[in-house]
Amino acid sequence: MVASRWLASTPLGKPASPKEVEDSLLLRVLVQGLVTLGIAAMVVAAAGVTDASLWNLLAIPLSAGGAAFSWYRRRYRNVAIKFFIAIGMLMALAVFFSRLLEQPGDTRIILAELLVQLQVLHSFDLPRRKDLGYSMMIGLILLGVAATISQTLAFAPLLLLFLVMAIPVLGLDYQSRLGLKPGAWGEVKLRPLLGRFLGMVALIVGLGLLIFLFLPRLPGYQIQSFPVSAVVDTPEDFSGDTIVNPAYRGNGSDNGEGFGDGDTPGAIRGRGKLSGPGVVDTTSYYGFNRQMNQNLRGTMTPQVVMRVRSQAPGFWRMLAFDTYTGQGWDISRNDNTQKVQRSQFSGQMFLPIYPTRARTREVVQTYTLVSELPNLIPAMYQPKELYFPTREVAMDAEGSLRSPVVLEAGMTYTVVSRVPYRDRTRLRAAGRQYPPGIRSHYLQVPGDILEPVRAQTEALLATAPVPLTDPYEKALYLAQTLKQRYTIQPDLPFFNGDQDLVETFLFEAGGGYPDHFSTVLTIMLRSIDIPARLVAGFGEGEFNPFTGFYIVRNTDAYAITEVHFPGYGWFGFDPIPGHELIPPSLRESEAFSLVRRLWNWFAGWLPSPLVGIIEGLITLLSDGLRYLVQAFNALLGLGWVGIMVGIAIAVILGFVAWLALMGLLRAWRYRQLLQLAPTERLYQQMLTWFDQQGLGKRPAETPLEYSQRLYPQTRAQAAQAADEITHAYVRWRYGGEPQNLAYLGEKLQLIRQSGTSRPWLIHR
């Protein structure tokens, strides 16, 4: 009767089985903490990167309220609650599919938000331990999603906090699996428990960083679905011939449009003038426009413009110029653009690419804009696939990509480029059989400067140690010569109306602004019939080895020279002082590339002499390994004899390395002994000697118990001497009595001279 009354008073059905109910309040609180961290990590990582809503943070109090409700209702079946949860999950699934159809492309945030909604509903019914296990997995999945979209170190504290909270959760979960009840708080010894806990955290973090450091970076993105923002409406009048650059806005009547396609220069007052003297815009690079006016002076204020995740470093190319105007550049075929449309069901666009005989590799890059950029799409040369949020884009005659809209902060897109390897031998043998289209567009030089520039170019080439015959070596040598013989001049005066930039640079000023070096190299190459063009873009930026992103600033924008090689395409040369001669691109060997980048980042914080010493040691070690590999390959070529000799050498080297290691350990042990008190030093030396003979002291033994155990196991003379040293050590250690060190030293020497103490030799 009592039972029937109890069941009748139970709301919404019968109580749950007490064996399945999880009664550990601490486990529930910690699990809810993991869920909260997962939701917070997703929101923090997505801030400024994707279109994730801050309304997701509302899931934290809702989920906590549901967890509290499920705690009080943990012994009830909650049939009605389960019904409403099922209805809510179906509604969330319907919203998910509708969003999926509206926003094809990167679905990580949509899936994560669905998971957050399901967790909120799930939190209202958590009676059993395995239900809490589902919540733990949801928190872990949300943390994983946050890791894939995070672009800053703001995610790192949440990751560490998740680890700190997950370790006790796993312990409590295992305890619940075994059916053990949690102990009383009064019986817990906090100091040893905290020490073990911190040690485990340090071990996991250290092991994780080590794995992260040496984990091979293989080409990823095997599933062809890349990060891309939500679809942006394309203007109906988009033709692809307009470039909108904030650097060329007027100070007077700024209408929000760039001046790159026929705007009257006289209408522009102040910064960003298309011709004549002017001031550089402080935030936007002046070279991203149809016309580049290199008679502007000033500097930009550094600010981050984008973050790039790429499988290889590169020059994030924006656009190229083919016509030199005397004080800048112009794009002569600006109207010759080709529009490319994306699929209706995906963000993928297939771009036209030019055939090449060079060995190539696909490189995936994902760009996230932090500040506004012109409607020019940065990409590594040559882009073959584009995942972009607009319905269509345009590609001009120089292979540059143009967007229908300005690239706004928060926009994300992905490019797959077919990047050629730079094979110096093949490029030297490419010849000079240039196609007519290349010769007609990329050999233009103003007639009044052609002869003096050609004469100066040939004079510089004549200074080479050996005669240069092919275009590649000439371009390489001229770029290096400009770096060495001319200087950057930040106080260069404005050019007059009839003054030529290249002529002034070579014969009057002895240098100029950084971009002037690339202009001069381009014209010098054209003067000796080598097709070249000027290309503007961003350098690779600063690599963050912890997030894996290249942090690109507006001050990383500059221009380089691209040279055409028949059959192979365009390859860049950078004559700007302080830059690498070859722009960042693919390397033949990318082994341990992350280790190298991490070292470059860390070396920036160390003194230069220390960096030089460490790099010298690394170089010495790498050279030694290279010589060993070469010698091993040579031995393999000798057949079985070489293999046997190689094995013998390897054994000898291993033995020498082992001896060196033992020597270092002995030296370290000796250094530790020198820091001990004399009596303790003698005692430790005795323990070390007996340990080497196979009679080491057990951790549970007291010193006196150990000395007594030695009597039946070693010679009586040695055991007696050990007993005297042990008693002397105990009297000094616990009584503070001074000891006769000379006498104890004689006893230690007697132990060492007593010969072997192996039991089987004594009793044989």
The full set of domain ranges for the chain reads 11-184+191-214, 439-547+555-601, 606-636, 676-762
Alpha-carbon gap, residue 283 to 303, rounded angstroms? 8
Residue 255 pLDDT level (bands cut at 50, 70, 90): very low
Query: How many other CB atoms sit within 10 Å of the CB of residue 497?
Result: 11
Tokens linked to 263: 């705007």
The answer to whether 148 and 107 are in contact (CB under 8 A) is: no
Q: Which of 28-32, 374-378, 379-383 has the lowest mean pLDDT?
A: 28-32
The residue-averaged pLDDT of 159-163 equals: 86
Give 643-680 as a 3 state SS string. Answer: HHHHHHHHHHHHHHHHHHHHHHHHHHHHHHHHCCCHHH
Instruction: Tell me the average pLDDT across 540-550.
Output: 85
| Model pLDDT, residue 593 | 55
pLDDT tens-digit map of 421-470: 999 999 999 989 999 999 999 999 999 999 999 999 999 999 999 999 99
The SS3 call for residue 660 is: helix
Least confident of 240-244, 263-267, 513-517: 263-267
Residue 220 has pLDDT above 50, yes or no: no
Structural contact between residues 200 and 167, judged by C-beta atoms closer than 8 angstroms = yes
- Residue of 442, 422, 420, 585 lying closest to 522 (CA atoms): 442
pLDDT band at 13 (very low <50, low <70, confident <90, very high): very low
pLDDT digits (tens, 9 = 90+) for 604-661: 666 777 767 777 777 777 677 667 766 766 766 666 666 777 777 878 888 888 888 8
Check whether 123 has a pLDDT greater than 50. Answer: yes
Average pLDDT rounded to a whole number, residues 153-181: 82
Tell me the pLDDT band of 591, cut-offs 50, 70 and 90: very low
Q: Say which range, 115-124, 200-209, 381-390, 462-471, has the weakest mean pLDDT.
A: 200-209
- Considering the four listed CATH numbers 3.40.50.261, 3.10.620.30, 3.90.950.20, 3.40.1120.10, the one that applies to the domain covering 439-547+555-601 is 3.10.620.30
pTM of the model: 0.67
User: Does the pLDDT value for residue 219 go beyond 70?
Assistant: no
Can you give the pLDDT at residue 585? 80
- Residue tagged 């994902």 (tokens): 366
Predicted confidence at residue 109, as pLDDT, reads 78
Give the tokens for residue 643. 């293999």
| pLDDT(186) > 80 | no
Share of the chain above pLDDT 90, in %: 28
- 303 pLDDT tier (thresholds 50, 70, 90): very high
What's the mean pLDDT when you consider all of the chain? 82
pLDDT confidence bin for 573, thresholds 50/70/90: very high
Q: Which of 150-164, 395-409, 423-437 has the lowest mean pLDDT?
A: 150-164
Euclidean distance between CA atoms 135 and 141, whole angstroms: 10
Confidence of residue 586 (pLDDT cuts 50, 70, 90): confident
- Look at residue 260 in the predicted model and tell me its pLDDT: 42
Q: What is the helix, strand, coil percentage profile of the chain, to 5?
A: 50, 15, 40
Residue owning tokens 């170089």: 619
- Angle of the 155-177 helix axis to the 129-149 helix axis, nearest 10: 160
Q: With bands split at pLDDT 50, 70 and 90, how would you rate the model's confidence at 261?
A: very low
pLDDT confidence of residue 254: 40
Answer for the pair 109, 149: CB distance below 8 angstroms, yes or no: yes
- 55 close to 155: Cβ distance less than 8 angstroms: no
User: What pLDDT is attached to residue 329?
Assistant: 95
